[in-house]
Amino acid sequence: MFDIGVGTGIVAAELTARGHVVYGIDLSSGMLARALDRLGPRVAVADACRLPVRTASVSQAVSTWPLHTGPDRGRVFDEVARTLRPGGRCPVIPAGGTRPTDDVGVVVGELEDRLDPGRTRQDGPWTLAPVAEARGLVYRGTASERPTTFRVSPRATADSLAGGLFRGAWSVTGEGIRLVDEARERLVSLPDPDVPPCAGDVRLRHGVREAVKRVVQPRPRRAAA
């Protein structure tokens, strides 16, 4: 199995634990230092746009979360098409396949769309499938995408936006900076900006809290007889 953008090897290690022999490449030697610990000498520094493997030599590739970070998707899928054997497969796990629907996710999703109205930077199936199919690959559809929920608070997400998170490797200037600032303000204006919405929907969480508060509220005391 060949992991394109193996990173620290966390996914590859799990696949290895399930009996697969996984090789991986990544651009970042820092990430690969960790992957080396996890996978042993089966990893190499290489560009996904120029895979260091022979044509039609890979029966099973996998790629988790590299395609939103900036590589030229056309060139990556050129390489996937070149290196896969006939009948070979390459599941791609996108970073933005399923958007969180909680209040933090809505703000971040809207920001992503405003910064990238053509959705060319996003790595969901709507963006990737046409690129892959243009290279003779067959898109088989999505599998078991679970709705996700932000596990960090609105304020921490706002701080991460200031630090560049969710913009990938693309620099943001001018109007983009204004859009990021606006999203940050929306985040810190949410109710309970220091509480992660990980219990599902923020409105639900507030609803539950209100209900619990009502249940545990002490009954009004009767006036002493």
Ligand X SMILES: C[S@@+](CC[C@H](N)C(=O)[O-])C[C@H]1O[C@@H](n2cnc3c(N)ncnc32)[C@H](O)[C@@H]1O
Residues that bind ligand X (CB under 6 A): 5-8, 10-11, 25-28, 31, 47-49, 64-66, 69-71
Give the integer Cα–Cα distance in Å for 4 and 7: 9
Q: Which is nearer to ligand X, 65 or 192 (CB)?
A: 65
Query: Rounded to the nearest whole angstrom, what is the least distance from the CB of residue 7 to ligand X in the complex?
Result: 2
Strands 43-45 and 84-89: unpaired
CB of 166 to ligand X, least distance (A): 12
Q: In angstroms, what is the minimal distance from the CB of 8 to ligand X? A: 6
Give the nearest residue (CB) to ligand X: 7
Rg value, the chain, Cα: 22
CB of 72 to ligand X, least distance (A): 8
Residue 30: CB minimum distance to ligand X, A: 8
From the CB of 22, what's the least distance to ligand X, in Å?
11
Complex with ligand X: residue 71 or 154, whichever CB lies closer: 71
Dihedral (Cα; 163, 36, 143, 124), 10-degree rounding: 30
Q: Please, which residue, 44 or 172, has the CB nearer to ligand X?
A: 44
Whole-number Å distance between alpha carbons of 135 and 108: 31
Residue 78: φ, ψ to 5°: -55, -45
CB 76 within 8 A of CB 127: no
For residues 62 and 2, is the Cβ–Cβ distance under 8 A? Answer: yes
Least Cα distance to 54 among 94, 97, 83 occurs for: 83
With respect to ligand X, which residue has the nearer C-beta, 12 or 202? Answer: 12
**103 vs 112, beta carbon nearer ligand X:** 112
| Cβ proximity to ligand X, 49 vs 199, nearer residue | 49
- The answer to whether 16 and 22 have CB atoms below 8 angstroms apart is yes
